Chain A
């Protein structure tokens, strides 16, 4: 298969090109500016990313039929575009939330690694070739390993980076082995060529299912699905808080993008099989995540288990895709992830803003927060209620969409388990809010300063949550466009 080169392909990857340019500018400024003047790097990164999002909307929006480009390495379609913008948005929010953090916010390396990782995520969303896919996953992961261990003087952060590296390297080796099997069996690395070979019956069931399992190991690690979820709490706890937020949102969303694309493209012939696998993963992931979250004392660990549970909810949507006649499945997954990214970034942002003043991530230290900083408490309220799936916040609409997708294809039992899990989830989110709003503390008359970056970032995120929850129609059509172009 050869795909002729045409000039429009430059425009289609313009956001990626601009991102590389931004990365180089940030690094150059880091080298050129004296240390005390590097505070503006965070604003530059956030502003640059916002500009790239706007450019993406202006020129790189896919129109018409999805097309393979750059020799079949990338696919220009809505799925890729939606996840590209999500990754850019998450990176912009993360840089806003981290620029006032000591030992992090004024260092060019931090933004450089963040941007390099974002580039990987953008390519993960649109990669249509195993070579490109693997490279994109590694470009995402390697900077994230370093970011998780960014506070080299802090033992917990170092441990987080190291654990993430070890598990990440191992699972990506297994996944790469799965890729090599796929290539060995078919002689092709292009996902869509693989798909046509699989549909033509060129592949035996054993070889497809076996390589699917190996590939799933890598993807399950990225989205922190059971049984590869165990790294998440330790890594989120040790990593700098904005990095933990970035890991739990953008990295997870990119993992889902890859999962959905590969499952739908390469393995459509064995849909019932992977449907069963994904359903089982969804149930295990939700239930385990929620049950472990109940007993957490540290808010970052709690959010880590909650993010595992949310991967489970999103997997319900993926399981729905596997059933014949699903119209809502893919839409609901994309929609769920966009909302989840916005919501969880707000939660981690609030945790970072509180943590930089109190120096603690224990839930007990949140006592009296509503008096120290009513606005931060409100952000936490919005984020946690949206995570638990309460109306009128975004989380409600998307949970509804995912469960509806399951019911539509008669996976009613899966939807019921999902609803039961949401009720468990509600309990621990409310426990945190109880501490925030009802408990008193001795320090409650000391106000908590919220620097400009946090204020702007959290404001944007909260408005996003409310917009999704109330005016969800435009978002819904955005995501259904993404899902419709999958095939």
Chain B
């Protein structure tokens, strides 16, 4: 096993374990904190895939902003941090069946894919994904339309959020 594989396995175990804790733990705030752990594991996975910028974006957006929003949202609710009551409802066997079926389906999908054991091409020393991304974002031959549409979407989301949460005078 290479060092890379060992790091990957450790990260994967931590990420999956933290993700499981998100659903298992009874305290919602703790669930949000475990979610931060999961996000962090994912950003390490991005690093392992040589997607450094994505890892940074993951830390800045998901850990820095979205988990804060989640914790605020939990604290907005009426029954803050109450950790009693059942965690499942009557439909849990169905949920189990559906989850198992989905998992089986995914295995079936992947089983038809022949490229599982092909090695990903190694990026050259001179490759600079961040630079390429910067060029691609505003290039009319690549992603300029999605880039500009994203700004409209963000503005609409901004105004929508203010609309919903702000009491009009």
Contacts and interface: CB of A to CB of B under 8 A. Distances in A.
Direct touching of A and B (C-beta under 8 Å): yes
Interface of A: 2-5, 9, 13, 20, 23, 27, 70-71, 73-74, 109, 112-113, 116-117, 119-120, 123, 131-132, 135-136, 138-139, 142-143, 145-146, 149-150, 152, 161, 181, 185, 204-207, 210-211, 213
Interface residues of B, number: 29
Given A9-B140, A123-B145, A207-B110, 15 more contacts: A13-B145, A23-B152, A73-B145, A112-B159, A120-B149, A123-B149, A136-B149, A143-B156, A150-B163, A152-B164, A161-B164, A185-B113, A204-B114, A210-B112, A211-B109
Contact of B141 (A71, A131, A152): A71
Given A113-B160, A142-B160, A143-B160, A135 B149 contact: yes
Majority DSSP secondary structure for residues of A touching B: helix
Contacts of B94: none
Contact of A139 (B139, B153, B159): B153
Contacts of B146: 73, 131-132, 135
A323 to B, nearest CB: 25
Contact of A71 (B114, B139, B164): B139
A73 B146 CA distance: 8
Interface string B82-103: 0000000000000000000000
Nearest 10 CB-CB pairings of A with B: A206-B112, A204-B112, A210-B109, A146-B160, A116-B156, A5-B140, A139-B153, A71-B142, A71-B141, A70-B145
Contacts of A131: 143, 146
Contacts, number: 99
Nearest to A145: B160
Contacts of B112: 204-207, 210
A146 B164 contact: yes
Given A135-B153, A206-B111, A109 B163 contact: yes
A4 B142 CA distance: 10
Contacts of B156: 112-113, 116-117, 139, 142-143, 146
A253 to B, nearest CB: 19
14 contacts: A5-B140, A71-B140, A71-B141, A123-B145, A131-B146, A132-B145, A139-B149, A139-B153, A142-B160, A146-B163, A204-B113, A204-B114, A207-B113, A210-B112
Nearest to A149: B164
Nearest to B151: A20
Contacts of B140: 5, 9, 70-71
A112 B152 CA distance: 10
A70 B144 contact: yes
A150 B156 CA distance: 13
B105 interface: yes
Contacts of A20: 148, 152
A123 B150 CA distance: 12
Among A3, A13, A161, A185, max chain B CB count under 10 A is at: A185
